[in-house]
C-alpha cells in the first residue's frame, strides 16, 4: 500500500464534495449515525482550534472516497450547509466564524493498493479496534460483495419485517436489524446454533443463487404468519418484541408452519396473555421463571435458545390426553384445572377463554 499525508483546510474537502469528486458512501461504508450532539462536539473542537482525528481517503482516477472519517466529513458538510446548529444554537456564518473553512485537517491519502490487499480490508482493519464500527458494520465492509449480505439487506427493507417495528431508527442506522436478520436466516438454514458462529460461517462461505431464493422465500413465508399474529395483537406491545423472545417465536413458527395460521394464531393468543407473568422473579411458576432466565443469561447460547424453544413446545405441542409437567405448573400458578385445557388440532394446550377469565382481562374474542 502506498500513501501520503497531507494537510487540507476544510474548504478543500467541501470543494471536492461540491465538484462531485468525493464519495461519502462507498459500498463497504456504514450509514450516517452521528447524533446532533456528536456533530456539535466536533464543531466545538474546531472552534477552539483543538486537533481532531486523521482522515483516510482513497484516491483513484482523480476522485476520492472516504475510507475513515465519513461521520466527521458529513458533520462538516452539514454544518456548512446549515443543516444543524452548533452548541451555541447558531447556524454556520462565515463572517462570524471565518476560521472554520481555514481549519486544517490531517489527511492520509491512499494512492495504491497491492494485489493481495483491498481498500475494504483496510477499512475493516482501521475500524476493528475501539468503538468505531460495530459487528454488522464490519461485516458489511468485509463481505459487501457477497450474496448473503445482499439477502440480509433486501430482507431488511421488507415491508413485512419493518411493519413489526422491532427496531428503533438509531438501531437501524447502526445496522442492528441486518445483524439480527442474519441470525434468523441462519436459524432457517442451520437450526438453533451457538451465538453468531453459523452466521459468520455463512458470510465466509457465501450462498449461491438457489440458496438465496430458497432462504428469501422461506423467510417471507414465516413473516406472513408472524404478520397475521401481529394483526391479532401488535408484537411491539408484547415481550416478544425483544430479540431473544422474537428469535424463539420466529423459530417456533418456522418449525411448525405446516400447522396453519389458525392453530398458530391460537398459540400466539396464549403467549400474549401469559407474557406479563414471564419474569425471572416469578417464584409462583417455575416454567415462566426458567424461560425468562434463559432470555437474560447466556441468552444467545445454543443451550439457552434450545431451552426457550423447549418451553414453547411443551406449552403448545402436547399430543397426550392429559397435561404435561410444564402445563401442570402453569395451570397451578393460575389456580386453573386440567379441565381448563383445550384441544387445538392434535394438541392439548391452555384454553384462551379460561385463561382470560382467570387473569381478568378479555383481550381476544
Cβ neighbours around 302 below 10 Å, total = 15
Q: What is the pLDDT of residue 272?
A: 97
Secondary structure (3-state) at 242: coil
CA dist 213 and 188 (Å) reads 13
Question: Cell triple for residue 75?
Answer: 458533520
Q: Which three cell numbers stand for residue 110?
A: 491512499
* Cell numbers at 59, concatenated: 484516491
**What's the distance, CA 191 to chain centroid?**
19
> How many C-beta neighbours within 10 Å does residue 43 have?
22
pLDDT of the chain along its 365 residues, tens only?
A: 678 889 999 999 999 999 999 998 777 666 677 889 989 999 999 999 898 888 988 898 899 988 888 889 999 999 999 999 999 999 999 999 999 999 999 898 988 776 555 656 665 555 554 445 677 777 776 787 899 999 999 999 999 999 999 998 877 877 889 999 999 999 999 999 988 889 999 999 999 999 999 999 999 999 999 999 999 999 999 999 999 999 999 999 999 999 999 999 999 999 999 999 999 999 999 999 999 999 988 888 999 999 999 999 999 999 999 999 999 999 999 999 999 999 999 999 999 999 999 988 889 98
Residue 66: phi and psi, rounded to 5, are -75, 120
The answer to whether the CB of 253 falls within 8 A of the CB of 271 is no
Q: CB neighbours of 161 closer than 8 A, spacing ≥ 6?
A: 155, 177, 181, 223
- The neighbour count for residue 259, using CB atoms within 10 Å, is 19
Please state, in angstroms and as integers, the Cα–Cα distance from residue 88 to each residue in 38, 91, 291, following that order. Answer: 14, 9, 50
Q: Given this model, what pLDDT does residue 1 score?
A: 67
Residue with cell string 409437567: 325
For residue 131, the model assigns a pLDDT of 40
> For the chain, how many helices (H) and strands (E)?
18, 7
pLDDT of residue 323: 97
DSSP state of 48: T
Q: What is the DSSP string of 126-194?
A: HTSSTTSS-HHHHHHHHHTTSHHHHHHHHHHT-HHHHTT--S-HHHHHTTHHHHHHHHHHHHHHH-S-S
The reported pLDDT for the residue numbered 149 is 92
Query: 103 and 49 in contact (C-beta within 8 Å)?
Result: yes
What is the distance between the terminal CA atoms of the chain, rounded to a whole angstrom?
68
Nearest-CA neighbor of 11 among 109, 94, 106, 103? 103
φ, ψ of residue 287 in degrees (nearest 5): -60, -40
Q: What is the CA radius of gyration of the chain?
A: 26
CB of 66 closer than 8 Å to CB of 29:
yes
Amino acid at each position: 500500500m502506498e500513501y501520503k499525508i497531507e494537510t487540507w483546510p476544510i474548504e478543500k474537502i467541501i470543494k471536492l464534495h461540491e465538484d462531485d469528486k468525493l464519495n461519502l458512501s462507498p459500498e463497504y461504508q456504514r450509514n450516517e449515525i452521528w447524533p446532533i450532539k456528536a456533530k456539535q462536539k466536533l464543531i466545538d473542537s474546531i472552534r477552539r482550534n483543538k486537533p481532531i482525528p486523521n482522515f483516510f481517503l482513497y484516491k483513484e482516477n482523480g476522485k476520492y472516497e472516504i475510507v475513515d472519517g465519513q461521520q466527521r466529513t458529513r458533520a462538516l458538510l452539514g454544518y456548512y450547509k446549515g443543516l444543524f446548529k452548533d452548541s451555541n444554537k447558531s447556524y454556520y456564518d462565515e463572517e462570524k466564524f471565518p476560521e472554520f473553512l481555514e481549519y486544517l485537517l490531517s489527511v492520509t491519502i491512499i494512492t495504491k493498493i497491492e494485489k493481495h490487499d483491498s481498500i475494504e480490508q483496510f477499512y475493516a482493519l482501521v475500524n476493528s479496534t475501539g468503538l468505531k464500527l460495530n459487528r454488522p458494520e464490519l461485516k458489511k465492509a468485509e463481505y459487501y460483495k457477497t450474496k448473503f449480505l445482499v439477502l440480509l439487506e433486501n430482507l431488511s427493507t421488507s415491508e413485512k419485517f419493518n411493519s413489526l417495528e422491532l427496531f428503533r431508527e438509531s438501531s437501524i442506522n447502526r445496522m442492528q436489524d441486518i445483524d439480527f436478520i442474519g441470525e434468523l436466516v441462519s436459524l432457517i438454514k442451520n437450526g438453533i446454533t451457538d451465538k453468531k458462529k453459523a452466521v459468520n460461517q455463512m458470510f465466509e462461505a457465501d450462498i449461491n443463487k438457489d440458496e438465496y431464493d430458497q432462504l428469501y422465500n422461506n423467510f417471507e413465508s414465516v413473516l406472513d404468519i408472524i404478520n397475521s399474529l401481529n394483526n391479532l395483537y401488535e408484537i411491539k406491545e408484547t415481550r416478544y418484541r425483544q430479540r431473544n423472545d422474537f428469535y424463539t417465536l420466529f423459530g417456533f413458527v418456522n418449525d411448525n408452519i405446516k400447522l396453519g395460521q389458525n392453530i398458530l394464531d391460537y398459540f400466539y393468543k396464549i403467549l400474549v396473555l401469559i407474557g406479563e407473568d414471564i419474569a425471572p422473579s416469578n417464584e409462583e411458576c417455575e416454567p415462566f421463571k426458567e424461560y425468562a432466565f434463559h432470555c437474560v443469561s447466556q441468552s444467545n447460547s445454543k443451550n439457552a435458545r434450545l431451552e426457550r424453544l423447549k418451553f414453547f413446545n411443551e406449552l403448545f405441542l402436547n399430543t397426550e390426553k392429559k397435561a404435561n409437567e410444564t402445563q401442570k405448573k402453569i395451570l397451578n400458578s393460575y389456580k386453573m384445572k386440567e379441565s381448563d385445557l383445550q384441544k387445538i388440532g392434535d394438541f392439548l394446550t391452555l384454553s384462551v377463554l379460561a385463561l382470560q377469565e382467570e387473569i381478568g382481562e378479555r383481550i381476544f374474542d
